[in-house]
Amino acid sequence: MEELSISINNIWVLVATFLVMFMQPGFAMVEAGFTRSKNTANILTKNLMDFAIGSILFWVVGYSIMYGDSLWGFIGIPDLFFNDNGIGDYANKTDLMFQTVFAATAATIVSGAVAERTKFNSYLIFTVVITVFIYPISGHWKWGGGWLDQLGFLDFAGSTLVHSVGAWVGLAGAIVLGPRAGKYENGKVKAIPGHNLTFAALGVFILWFGWFGFNPGSQLGAAGNDNTLAIAHIVLTTNLAAAGGAVSALFISWWRYKRPALSLALNGALAGLVAITAGCDIVSPGGALIIGLLAGIILVFSVEFIDQKLKIDDPVGAVSVHGVNGAFGTLAVGLFATEGGLFYGGGSSLLISQLIGVAAIFVWAFGLGMILFKTIKATIGLRVSRRIEEEGLDIYEHGESAYN
């Protein structure tokens, strides 16, 4: 019976791994759809390399930095070329694969924020740094038993530890890069629409589907009644939050801009998914729906504020979806958690822990992102020339086009 339980757990975590890996083409389709056709091959190549390079480097060293024996609660002791045949509740190599697809997600989020004007070779350098340094170290603080875990910080599947990390680094990249040519002219904001909302919609549906591996898979087990009930609950809360985010973003955009905007509704669904990721195991179904509805509202106003007030050019809304709503969802755990949440009589201690965690991750990811992008800019250069940007990165950077 013990071996059967291990086998069931192992299969479940692997199935979840495959679902999360399938989110990679979802991200690619969303980013390609929300940007212009002349840069599609570049975007697809970046997403492919995020996963390919990330898979190799996370196996080489990233996994051990995240989950190795803790050094001062800050970093795992590196151990190169993971090849551990041990078995706990499931195989250790299964855990490596599950964590690898999470690392790839964090790296890919940045791609959207810096789309359409970044040198490809510079982007590859970033992929290496986030996979072997930025993401695994901050991940160790909670999931590796580090100082945030000891503080009582909760982030079940990574609203902050995965999504916000990628988004805050992406924010730094967007700031250092500057806006795309023609985005802000004479003090006015010019919309640069994407070329294919069909791709974007398909990508969001793929991501929504993949999130049923991302969140329920983080239960890291399927055998027994406790795991069965937990997985069912997490699937329900995940779906309700996504639906709430899509609905509220649509109606808020309809009210604010006099049109029900598909692009904002799509990002609203993603905002709901990001927001519920931290507390999907510990909030009620009603709480999940409220979190999703609020995430969709936050998404609309955040996109407008970042684009029009801060004048930071984020072509796909990655910072609003993954950064702002990742932070919101993590803080919402301190309010809506049925055990320890402020709204359930748990006091403010959990909310304070969540605040500390959100702030620490922001300082870490955004700070290192600024250092990284400014260093790349001062050395090999970060941005393509204006001519390449205007004519498209596909031909100049890759010698091929997505459309012929």
Query: Is pLDDT of 198 > 90?
Result: yes
Three-state SS for 76? Answer: strand
Question: Residue 323, by phi and psi: left (phi above 0), alpha (psi -120 to 50) or beta?
Answer: alpha
Are the CB atoms for 270 and 204 separated by under 8 Å?
Answer: yes
Are the CB atoms for 173 and 373 separated by under 8 Å?
Answer: yes
Name the pLDDT band for 207 (thresholds 50, 70, 90).
very high
Q: Outline where 277-347 has alpha helix (H).
A: 285-304, 318, 325-336
Query: Is pLDDT of 2 > 90?
Result: no
- For 326-365, write each residue's pLDDT tens digit: 999 999 999 999 999 999 999 999 999 999 999 999 999 9
- Other CB atoms within a 10 A radius of the CB of residue 77 amount to 10
- Other CB atoms within a 10 A radius of the CB of residue 4 amount to 9
Three-state SS for 220? Answer: coil
- For 131-184, write each residue's pLDDT tens digit: 999 999 999 999 999 999 999 999 999 999 999 999 999 999 999 999 999 999
Helix (H) or strand (E) holding 70: strand 70-71
3 state SS for 154-189? CCCCCHHHHHHHHHHHHHHHHHHHCCCCCCEECCEE
- For 92-109, write each residue's pLDDT tens digit: 999 999 999 999 999 999
